[in-house]
Structure 1
């Protein structure tokens, strides 16, 4: 309910936004309403995307290429962690970029072979 619009909104009205916190989803009662079930599914998918873990040095591939202000168009990047911030480095030119709401976007980790340091005694 809103202070400017006293109409009660429910999930059965076909909500567009799907960013409900898990704590609220846990409070909802079972339903068979098609709109409500779709909205709950989209909320869970959104929560799963945002909770993905990415490590320093991981290579990620975006579902669609992104065009940046300097004209660079990229789809694959190497992750650099700087504290809590993620910076993306291009594999070719070592340019560094930042993509807003990266964790909400569709991307996947590209499997790479990592060479570990060998220590001889």
Structure 2
């Protein structure tokens, strides 16, 4: 989205491309093979999104859902999170997770990613 504004060109990147960058592109971004898709022998990381919110309507389960993903969805729209097949968040509540430990791991991961060339 940054590039659309920077180059003043709203057609520069399509919602489908944004979705692919956020899913399959993650594999390349972190150099970790076997993530970003749902297929045999890959890690199953899944989120469910509450589409029944004013900023996500209409949601016709066609291209509009990808447009919402690219332009409108927020982290607070995520209801459930499954990481490697294990339910981590249910109804927006972390399950069996030490929030302080989660924050620490996120900080460490961010530092590692930002320090890589």
Normalising TM by the smaller chain, what interval? Answer: under 0.3
Instruction: Specify the structure having the higher radius of gyration (Cα).
Output: 1
Question: What TM-score comes out, normalization by structure 2 length?
Answer: 0.27
TM-score by length of 1: 0.26
Q: Which has the higher strand share?
A: 1
